Amino acid sequence: MAILFRSSPAAAARWRPLLGRLMPEHEIRFWPEIGDKAAIEYALVWQPEPGLLASLPNLKLIVGLGAGVDHVLGDPSLPKRVPIVRLVDPYMTDAMSEYVTLSVLRLHRQDLDYLAQQRAGIWEEREQKNAAERPVGILGFGTLGQDAGRKLKALGFDVAGWSRGKKEIAGFACYSGPAGLHALLARSEILVCLLPLTAETTGILNAAAFARLPRGAGLVNAGRGGHLVEADLIPALDAGQLSGAVLDVVGAEPLPADHPFWHHPRIILTPHIAAETHPPSAAPIIREVIRRCAAGLPLANRVDPARGY
């Protein structure tokens, strides 16, 4: 029985010693040296090439090496009989909440304006709201969205969340469905996207959505680049409908050198680092998932391919 590890060479170098130490009982094969495909029962993957998983005849489990699984579900030949589990790691959840609180605070405290003033040598105070006067809306109120929401709430922000199913969570205004989306947008001076990328959520951050936000709202996208209709962002920023955007994810990663997002004064860019997979904390979680699967026990954090996340 063997485990296939398929990610970048840099990730393989970080994971190899950890997996070898934690799971000495398993043979771990690092792509592209995968050997006899019939021996592979478990696959740990990030952006596997389409067809790879279907070519493993005895595969029992696919483990996504990240919280989002769009990189797995995008494979049209994905074997339907094989369960998929995504990575839910409290270390990553904390990292995402750090990123979201940092980004929301930067927008809330008018960082982009003060940076522009500094560059222009202008010493001038701007009117500042209190956190309690700044409604924040979170698209995607799941593992990451709720944790970020709790931490923003602890800072005093007035937080609402939007999910697919209806939720009641003490201390938060919870919205769902298309009408709920409109209501959430209408109240969100800062909008945070922590959705999975699915057929329903692709392009959700678009001109029509921006028009529903209060004028001058800020945007944080740490979900996926495909959530944003990129052509709609700069017009909304230039017209003042949006006052700033923090983007951790973009449609084409790495962002092409000639992309206008690089130099727009009201865009803050980071290279998909909001919550990177952290091998030291993730490896024991994955070992436990494999142990449970081998023992025929129920698996947590199963992906529903029909739902898309």
Q: Say which residues have a Cβ less than 8 Å from residue 263's Cβ, sequence separation at least 6.
A: none
Integer Cα distance of 72 and 87 in angstroms: 13
Count of H helices and E strands in the chain? 9, 12
- b/e map 83-98, b = 16+ CB within 10 Å: ebbbbebeebbbbbbe
38-77 positions binding ligand NDP, by CB under 6 A: 66-68
Residue 224 among the catalytic residues: yes
Write the CA distances from 128 to 100, 112, 156, 274, 293, integer angstroms: 20, 14, 14, 27, 53
* Residue 46 CA, distance from chain mean position: 14
247-276 positions binding ligand OXD, by CB under 6 A: 275-276
Nearer to ligand OXD, 107 or 274 (CB): 274
Nearer to ligand OXD, 71 or 109 (CB): 71
Which partner in ligand OXD, ligand NDP, none is near 143 (CB below 5 to 8 A by kind)? Answer: ligand NDP
Q: Which amino acid is at 76?
A: P
Nearer to ligand OXD, 87 or 236 (CB): 87
The answer to whether residue 2 forms part of the interface with ligand OXD (CB under 6 A) is: no
The answer to whether residue 67 forms part of the interface with ligand OXD (CB under 6 A) is: yes
Work out which of 63, 100, 160, 222 binds ligand NDP, going by CB under 6 A.
Answer: 222
Rounded-to-10 torsion of CA 256, 262, 267, 270: 60
The answer to whether residue 223 forms part of the interface with ligand NDP (CB under 6 A) is: yes
Integer Cα distance of 93 and 17 in angstroms: 24
Q: How many residues bind ligand NDP (CB under 6 A)?
A: 30
Residue 26 among the catalytic residues: no
Rounded-to-10 torsion of CA 122, 99, 135, 155: -90
Nearer to ligand OXD, 182 or 307 (CB): 307
The answer to whether residue 66 forms part of the interface with ligand OXD (CB under 6 A) is: yes
Residue 304 CB, nearest distance to ligand OXD (Å)? 16
Using Cβ positions, the residue closest to ligand NDP within the complex turns out to be 142
Work out which of 101, 110, 163, 243 binds ligand NDP, going by CB under 6 A.
Answer: 163
174, 166 contact by CB (below 8 A): yes
Which partner in ligand NDP, ligand OXD, none is near 142 (CB below 5 to 8 A by kind)? Answer: ligand NDP
Which partner in ligand OXD, ligand NDP, none is near 196 (CB below 5 to 8 A by kind)? Answer: ligand NDP
Work out which of 97, 143, 188, 243 binds ligand NDP, going by CB under 6 A.
Answer: 143
103 C-beta neighbours (distance < 10 Å), count: 27
Which partner in ligand OXD, ligand NDP, none is near 226 (CB below 5 to 8 A by kind)? Answer: none
From the list 272, 278, 287, 292, the catalytic residue is 272
The stretch near ligand OXD (CB under 6 A) out of 23-31, 60-68, 98-106, 185-193 is 60-68
Per residue, the 3-state secondary structure of 81-123, as one string, reads CCCEECCCCHHHHHHHHHHHHHHHHHHHCCHHHHHHHHHCCCC
Task: Compute φ and ψ for 118, nearest 5 degrees.
Answer: -60, -45
239-278 positions binding ligand NDP, by CB under 6 A: 248-249, 272, 274-275
Residue 273 CB, nearest distance to ligand OXD (Å)? 9
Binding site for ligand OXD (CB under 6 A): 66-68, 275-277
Catalytic residues: 224, 272
